[in-house]
């Protein structure tokens, strides 16, 4: 067409121009709501009347050149806290369980060439019904998961921490198990991974009908689905979100669950 340039820039066609120098071969989806997205170290700055991250990174969450994360623009970069900063954009993100998990798994690797890829998808304040097939959150998660294996990597598991938004209503709490079962089956079908390991977290906060949600999480009877119980982990003063130290403990527990059950 007259007047239109035929030159294509890298920004316009990242799928043609971009290729990560060392793409991951072991990929993990991180999904759910705020405690997966990470609120560890997020504090109130009373002088400016806003929430900020204290930028304290425990040694267990240190960056490593062999641990990558998939950015919001679907490009790989070296992973570092906060993993969900450009994903859960409605809130301030801090330390979550992802980096502690990845470092623990990486240390147990038999090969120096293994590269771990983390795919952050969690969004704070979301109920499980917002993750139904066809929803924006679900379809974005599937799209990111598909993109993550473009360069030949294998999706090893999904880590799921969600449920605090389903404890207030009795119907939501009682239907949690059915909704979670449907989510697992849909995700496995849509990714063509019928045996995809799922490591879910049994929530430890939220009040209301929390016992019913926990019962569903701890009692889910699906193959290759295991549950890590967050009960007893330290909460921040809001009695909802895990502290930085608790997130590290959770990440290590998730890694142990993965290594014990799926490796």
pLDDT in tens, the chain (263 residues): 333 333 333 333 344 445 677 899 999 999 999 999 999 999 998 888 899 999 999 999 999 999 999 999 999 999 999 999 999 999 999 999 999 999 999 999 877 889 999 999 999 999 999 999 999 999 999 999 999 999 999 999 999 999 999 999 999 999 999 999 999 999 999 999 999 999 999 999 999 999 999 999 999 999 999 999 999 999 999 999 999 999 999 999 999 999 999 99
| Candidates 31, 34, 66, 205; catalytic one | 34
Q: Going from the N-terminus, what domains does the chain have, and what CATH number goes with each?
A: 26-262 (3.40.50.1110)
| Candidates 66, 88, 148, 241; catalytic one | 241
| Candidates 47, 113, 195, 238; catalytic one | 238
pTM: 0.92
Q: Cis ω on the peptide bond leading into residue 175 (within 30° of 0)?
A: no
φ, ψ of residue 168 to 5 degrees: the values are -80, -30
Task: Name the CA radius of gyration of the chain, rounded.
Answer: 19
Cβ count near 89 (within 10 Å): 12
Is 34 catalytic? The answer is: yes
Is 238 catalytic? The answer is: yes
Q: Give the strand order in the sheet containing 198-202.
A: 76-78, 67-70, 116-120, 26-32, 154-161, 198-202, 225-229
């Amino acid at each position: 067409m007259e007047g239109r340039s035929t030159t294509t820039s890298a920004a316009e066609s990242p799928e043609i121009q971009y290729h990560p120098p060392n793409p991951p071969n072991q990929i993990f989806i991180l999904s759910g709501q705020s405690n997966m997205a990470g609120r560890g170290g997020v504090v109130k700055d009373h002088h400016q009347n806003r929430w900020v991250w204290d930028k304290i990174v425990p040694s267990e969450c240190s960056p490593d050149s062999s641990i990558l994360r998939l950015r919001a623009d679907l490009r790989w970069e070296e992973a570092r806290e906060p993993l969900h900063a450009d994903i859960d954009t409605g809130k301030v993100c801090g330390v979550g369980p992802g980096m502690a998990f990845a470092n623990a798994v990486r240390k147990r690797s038999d090969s120096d060439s293994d590269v771990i890829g983390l795919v952050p998808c969690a969004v704070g304040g979301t109920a499980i019904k917002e993750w139904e097939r066809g929803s924006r959150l679900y379809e974005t998660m599937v799209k990111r998961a598909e993109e993550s294996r473009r360069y030949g990597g294998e999706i090893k598991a999904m880590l799921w921490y969600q449920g605090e938004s389903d404890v207030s209503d009795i119907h939501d709490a009682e239907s949690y198990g059915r909704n979670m079962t449907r989510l697992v089956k849909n995700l496995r079908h849509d990714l063509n991974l019928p045996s995809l390991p799922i490591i879910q977290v049994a929530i430890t906060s939220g009040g209301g009908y929390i016992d019913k949600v926990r019962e569903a999480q701890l009692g889910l009877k699906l193959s290759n689905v295991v549950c890590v119980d967050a009960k007893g982990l330290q909460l921040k003063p809001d009695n909802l979100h895990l502290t930085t130290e608790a997130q590290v403990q959770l990440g290590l527990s998730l890694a142990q669950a993965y290594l014990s059950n799926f490796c």
